[in-house]
């Protein structure tokens, strides 16, 4: 199993490739952006669930950079969700695609230069591989169907918080579901 740093970088390359194709305007733009969302949303959720907390634990001085990463995730997610509600023929659609691509390039660069090296340098091989396994498991899902809404990790986390479940910030979506009785 590849380690966490390799998996995150590989997923970054996949999203960058899709966005480059979207910016070129060749393929079905709506389908490309749906695929970006399918890859990106679980990726961001997993980073916020246990990758960023691990980085913060290993390097407290990077706390502000981690907070910035979370804010950037939320900005991109919001732009992406709004974009997916529209149509590629809508005014401003191309500009929003370009804005998403630009924000993600900036975010990926900062993450790969400032945050991922902390994991590479301060975790041993076994720890990186275990985190990589967990990350791969957490990011292989798809977007929930609006009609058949499954609780998001954030919703499960809030329930765990209400129930005062210890260790909730490090739990995967499945672990949270089990802890709050929704598995």
Please give the mean pLDDT across all residues of the chain.
87
pLDDT in tens, 100-141: 999 999 999 999 999 999 999 999 999 999 999 899 889 975
| pLDDT of res. 156 | 81
The answer, yes or no, to whether residue 165 has pLDDT greater than 70, is yes
User: With a threshold of 0.85, does the pTM exceed it?
Assistant: no
The Cα-based distances of 120 to 54, 96, 116, 181 in angstroms read 12, 34, 6, 35
The answer, yes or no, to whether residue 27 has pLDDT greater than 70, is no
| pLDDT of res. 1 | 61
Q: Report the C-alpha gap between 171 and 87 in whole angstroms.
A: 37
For the chain, what percent of residues have pLDDT higher than 90?
64
Show the tokens assigned to 143.
Answer: 């977007």
């Amino acid at each position: 199993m590849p380690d966490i740093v390799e998996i995150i970088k590989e997923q970054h390359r996949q999203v960058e490739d899709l966005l480059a194709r979207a910016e070129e305007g060749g393929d079905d733009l709506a389908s490309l952006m749906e695929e970006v969302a399918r890859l990106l949303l679980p990726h961001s959720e997993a980073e916020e669930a246990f990758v960023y907390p691990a980085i913060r634990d290993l390097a407290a001085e990077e706390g502000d950079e981690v907070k910035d990463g979370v804010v950037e995730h939320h900005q991109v997610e919001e732009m992406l969700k709004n974009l997916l509600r529209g149509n590629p023929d809508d005014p401003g659609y191309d500009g929003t695609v370009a804005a998403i691509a630009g924000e993600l390039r900036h975010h990926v660069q900062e993450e790969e230069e400032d945050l991922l090296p902390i994991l590479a340098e301060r975790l041993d091989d076994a720890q990186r591989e275990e985190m990589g396994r967990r990350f791969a498991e957490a990011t292989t899902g798809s977007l929930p169907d609006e009609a058949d809404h499954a609780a998001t990790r954030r919703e499960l986390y809030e329930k765990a918080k209400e129930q005062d479940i210890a260790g909730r910030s490090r739990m995967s979506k499945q672990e949270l579901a089990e802890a709050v009785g929704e598995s």
